[in-house]
Amino acid sequence: MTTVPRSALISGASAGIGATFARHLAARGYQLLLVARRADRLHDLAAQLTEQHKVRCEVFAADLTAPASPAAILRYADEQGLNIDVLINNAGLSGKTAFADTPWDTLAGEIQLMVTAQTELAHRVIPGMKERRWGRIVNLSSVAAFAPPATSLLYTGIKSYVLNTSQALDMELKPHGIHVTALCPGFTHTEFHDVMGTRDKANHLPGILWQQPEAVVAEGWKAVQNGKPVCVPGLVNKISAAAMKPLPNRLAYLAGKTLNPFKNS
């Protein structure tokens, strides 16, 4: 009997950590559904991965700031006969102006992209994972999730939401063979700062603070495979997160699991 390869859905797959996850998983034989706004980049990446690793790579161009996108993505996956076994919720951005000076449509798009769409994609793939008794979800948070709130920006609060929600989902879903990990990188060499217009400031940061996306992805994938609900990649980031958060990650997770109001239901 032929075994069907597992499939991974990766959002924000056209560059940076998302594209690196695509390369990492393709090298391990996963079929891919690559999602981002830039269709040309997705098609180029899909062609490269298909040639290098002989894996199936589907492409779906979508803007996840549009509320209809998550349903459309999963509808396409179903039409293509792809059961999503791995979800990499990577798509993200950061605001560049003060909250009060930013148009509401821009703020709503930020929330839709990194809170609502990410949560909806997980909600839509989890039933199939539960049925197959296997699943892996990586939600991109940030070391900023451990920091005090930053002036005017939603980013810290959003990434804290991702961190906390990922741990809650991991508690709920691990008995069903599904691991959920909040991946919390710090400064990473990607296009993020170019897109956000913060490259000049980023270039003045010490080199010791930076990681390559390949290192972030390797540590994040190892963490979700091993059932770790939180992954802070890199020694410097681990020290920073521990210094900013009074209760160690593992103890916080165990405390939350103990206090779970649904554990006896």
Instruction: Give 209-233 pLDDT, tens digit per residue.
Output: 657 999 999 999 999 999 999 999 9
Q: Can you give the residue ranges of every domain in the chain?
A: 7-259
Q: Which residues contact 155 (CB under 8 A, 6 or more apart)?
A: 94, 95, 142, 144
Integer Cα distance of 61 and 115 in angstroms: 19
Instruction: Give 53-109 pLDDT, tens digit per residue.
Output: 999 999 999 999 999 999 999 999 999 999 999 999 999 988 778 888 899 999 999
Longest dimension (CA), the chain: 60
Residue 265: CB atoms within 10 A of its CB come to: 5
pLDDT band at 161 (very low <50, low <70, confident <90, very high): very high
Q: Which residues are the active-site residues?
A: 155, 159
With 0-12 / 13-18 / 19 or more C-beta atoms within 10 angstroms meaning exposed / middle / buried, residue 100 is: exposed
In contact, 179 and 227? CB cutoff 8 Å: yes
pLDDT at residue 196 in the model: 47
Q: Tokens 């293509």 belong to which residue?
A: 80
CATH number of this structure's domain 7-259: 3.40.50.720
Geometric angle at alpha carbon 92, from 86 and 96, rounded to 5°: 170
Question: What letter does residue 246 receive in the DSSP assignment?
Answer: S
Integer Cα distance of 148 and 182 in angstroms: 18
In contact, 172 and 129? CB cutoff 8 Å: no
In contact, 93 and 195? CB cutoff 8 Å: yes
